[in-house]
Amino acid sequence: MESLAHIRIVLDRTSHPGNIGSAARAMKVMGLFDLRLVRPGRFPDAEATALASSADDVLDAATVHDTLDDALADCTLVIGTSARRRSIEQEMTDARGAAKKALEAGGSVAMLFGCERSGLDNPALDRCHALIRIPTDPEYGSLNLAQAVQVVCYELRMTALASAPVIESQARLPASDRRMGVFFSRLERTLQAIRFSTPGQDETLHRRLRRLFLRARPDDDELNMLNGILSRTLKTAGIDERKQTPERNGDG
């Protein structure tokens, strides 16, 4: 289905190869084909192939990434799945609401799933614009990774079938995850350089600022403006930006 072509299913550090195969099957039956794997425990693997059934083409086309940065680099919207509650407030939705948000977005969208044992860790959750919570029974909320993928893919397909997606104007395409990551690193270095953030408060402050800018979803022009503000801030403070050491590689 063409309206789902911009959706990527990203599995972070999957430990069991059977879950990769089952996830591929869940994807294909709902018309999704872009599978990205971040440091899978075992892949390729015969068990993954066996449980994929006739979705071998999804497995064959799957890309393996050493880092989450690489897997999300071209994505302008990242929606994660998590059953954990966080101290830092973050937008929550169900799978149906997430599907609507994903189909209305411009650019590539990542639906991000964590490893079987512990789900997404805090650094991965920090990358997400919103989180999906599947309302399982409170008495038994154990949901297999591939089952969670199936629920999300089903809602994506049903939303796509219900109505034609409203695509954001390409003139206002949100900045990619890679560009946002570079901006966040630069923002954090700037706050430290002008002594706005101090040891002990850095982590909470930076996470709250990430939430703010991820909600805003700035486009490239807006991000250029924000980077310009950071440069002028450092210059006004008499700080030589060239002497600061970048924490992440990428475009600015």
| Tokens standing for residue 193 | 């350089």
Does residue 119 fall inside a structural domain? Answer: yes
Q: Does any domain span residue 124?
A: yes
- Classified as helix, coil or strand, 66 is coil
> In the predicted model, is pLDDT for residue 203 greater than 90?
no
Residues 113 and 30 in one domain: yes
Whether 246 has a pLDDT exceeding 50, the answer reads no
Q: Is residue 89 domain-resident?
A: yes
Given the DSSP bridges, would you call strands 34-38 and 7-12 parallel, antiparallel or unpaired? parallel
Q: Cβ–Cβ contacts within 10 Å for residue 105, how many? A: 23
Co-location of 114 and 73 in the same domain: yes
Residues 153 and 97 in one domain: yes
Nearest to 71 by CA among 20, 107, 35, 114: 35
Give the SS3 label for residue 243.
Answer: helix
pLDDT value at position 244?
Answer: 61
The boundaries of the domain holding residue 117 are 2-170
* Whether residues 54 and 99 fall in one domain: yes
Give residue-wise pLDDT tens across range 70-114: 999 999 999 999 876 655 678 999 999 999 999 999 899 999 999
Query: Residue for token digits 């850095």?
Result: 202
Q: Does residue 154 sit in the same domain as residue 227?
A: no
- The pTM (predicted TM-score) of the whole model is 0.81
Return the pLDDT at 237. Answer: 87
The alpha-helical segments, DSSP class H, found in 138-176 are 145-162
249 is a domain residue: no
Type of residue numbered 48: A
Q: How many structural domains comprise the chain?
A: 2
- Indicate the SS3 state at residue 81: strand
**Predicted local distance difference test score (pLDDT) of residue 242:** 73
Claim to verify: residue 10 and residue 111 sit in the same structural domain: yes
Kindly state whether residues 157 and 208 are assigned to the same domain: no
Q: Is residue 133 domain-shared with residue 193, that is, in the same domain?
A: no
248 falls within a domain: no
Residue 71 lies in a domain: yes
What would the pLDDT profile of 118-153 be if each residue is shown by its tens digit? Answer: 899 999 999 999 999 999 998 998 889 999 999 999
Q: Any alpha helices (H) in the chain, and if so which ranges?
A: 17-29, 46-51, 56-61, 68-72, 95-104, 122-125, 145-162, 177-193, 202-216, 220-236
Q: What is the DSSP letter of 242?
A: G
